[in-house]
Structure 1
Amino acid sequence: MKSKDKRYTQVKNYLLEGISQQLWTAGERVPSENELVDLCKVSRMTARRALQELYSEGTLVRIQGKGSFVAKEKQQSSLLQIRSISAEIKEQGFEHHSQLLLCELQNADTSIASVLNIEADQLCAHSQLLHFQNQTPIQLEYRWVNTAIIPDYVKQDYSKITPSEYLSSVAPVTEAEHKVEAIIGDENIRKILDLKEDEAILLLQRKTWCNGQLVSYARLYHPGNSYSLGTKFSTVNSD
């Protein structure tokens, strides 16, 4: 694991150094995933991870069908960094994996249509993923996406990339709204998160925009005794 992480960091640093030395300036295309494989002598997975991190951080932007480009200064200054749960867990020294429970197109009901600012019964994408810290459920993610803006959302392989990482790569966040509350939660959510009877749920509701367009609405459910805001995670006590 450490050797893979080191190769990923080397690719990322290669790109960052090239940008700092103005080898690639704002608006210019950087080497593609395939080109990075040859230039840095790494696997496609390693090159892809480096690019995805730079998309999430707002250093690069991806234009479908054209490639990856250095973000313009105006874009970078306005981007909000929405960290993926995968990156947060790994930074704490744990392993992350997720289980895809649902990913489909559906007709938006009245409440979701209102949140996404679309017409009732208009098609939207809906996904449900369960994220794990090592083998412990740490986040149940329910997400609705405006497919008029992100048409390929349901076509992605979310065993290789998290929804937030994908959305950040194609529609970088320029505005976000959060609402946090402690709830009891329904029986199904509690069962999925494997919660004790006396354990509360921390619900984070998040809406994200890209250049004035509302892209995504997510309900993120966390075990109250094992999750804290501020990108910190801890293991669940076994007693």
Structure 2
Amino acid sequence: MTTPKFAQIKQFIVDKIRSGLWQENQRVPSENELSTQFSVSRMTARRALSELTESGILTRSQGLGTFVASFKSQSSLLEIRNIADEVKERNGNYTCSVLILESINAVAPIAIALGVEVESVVYRSVLVHNENDSPIQLEERFVNPALASGYLQQDFSATTPHEYLSSVAPLTQARHTVEAIMPNNEMCQWLNLYNEEPCLQVIRRTWSVNGIVSFARLVSPGSKYRLGGHLTFKK
């Protein structure tokens, strides 16, 4: 089966990053440059860049171009909190539905995000967090087995991935990307969204002292969830 052109472009970019030829924050070829190089339409090149951006591999800056994302921590207004604690603080009843808990072979974007080899085994979980029996967040998480070997043996209906990972690989750094998205059909089904509505998506990578622990995508209906932060400025 012939590999789609957009997938070829994605693999080309990933290979350049993995080899070290393209460094963090380095500008990558534009849609026009890629469409010329691979003899494809700009739409095809745009799809490749967009999917790598959504995965956190690239970052786009309006008017400047597309760059290799920084895989180090960055400051954030977001506090890393356990969603179960958030619900309980609102006097809500927290429950969790475990949809998927499996080991998979890492495709290139996931391998880069976790700092492991392509096709190496990683853990994947898909959960729905509920407040008062209503879904408020879909969590898809990829975990480095070397830093959390017992991940697949956990009962995530009783403890959250955040709680478990914090106990075996305490968080030292994190990187967030936050954006508004329209959910696909699968997301709508998992979140019980009968009317299409914008969702808040957080892409999060976390580190411990020993390396990258997990790469997660958190999707919440815009009508049910919001993010907040508090800043204290030194005098």
TM-score range, shorter chain: 0.5 to 0.7
Runs of 4+ in 1 over 2 A off after TM superposition: none
1:74-99 Cα offsets, whole Å, 9 max, x none, are xxxxxx96211101000011000001
Q: Which aligned pairs between 1:88-237 and structure 2 lie closer than 5 A?
A: 88-211=86-209, 213-230=211-228
Structure 2 counterpart of 1:225, which letter?
S
Unaligned runs of 5+ in 1: 1-79, 232-239
Counting matched residue pairs gives 152
Separation in 1 of the partners of 2:196 and 2:158? 34
Which structure has the highest helix share of the two? 1
Structural RMSD (CA): 1.5
Task: Please report how far the alpha carbon of residue 104 of structure 1 lies from its aligned counterpart in structure 2 after TM superposition.
Answer: 1.0
Contact 1:147 1:153 in 2 (8 A): yes
SS at the partner of 1:204? strand
Secondary structure of the residue aligned to 1:188 is helix
Q: Is the 8 A contact 1:81 1:173 kept in 2?
A: no
One-letter amino acid of the counterpart of residue 145, structure 2: T
Unaligned runs of 5+ in 2: 1-77, 230-235
Question: In the TM superposition, what are the counterparts of 1:1-16 in structure 2 within 5 Å?
Answer: none
In the superposition, the TM-score normalised over structure 2's length comes to 0.62
Q: Per-residue displacement from partner, 1:43-98 (whole Å, max 9, x unpaired)?
A: xxxxxxxxxxxxxxxxxxxxxxxxxxxxxxxxxxxxx9621110100001100000
SS at match of 1:167: helix
Letter in 1 for 2:189: K
Amino acid at match of 1:207: R
CA distance, structure 2, for counterparts of residue 102 and residue 185 of structure 1: 19
TM-score (norm 1): 0.61
Is the contact between residue 183 and residue 196 of structure 2 (CA under 8 Å) also seen in structure 1?
no
Amino acid at match of 2:122: C
> Equivalents in 1 of 2:101, 2:147: separation in Å?
17
The amino acid that maps onto 1:111 is P
For the 8 Å contact 2:177–2:203, the answer to whether it is kept is yes
Q: Give the drift of 1:199.
A: 1.2
> Which letter does structure 2 place at the counterpart of 1:230?
G
Q: Which residue of 1 aligns with 2:54?
A: none
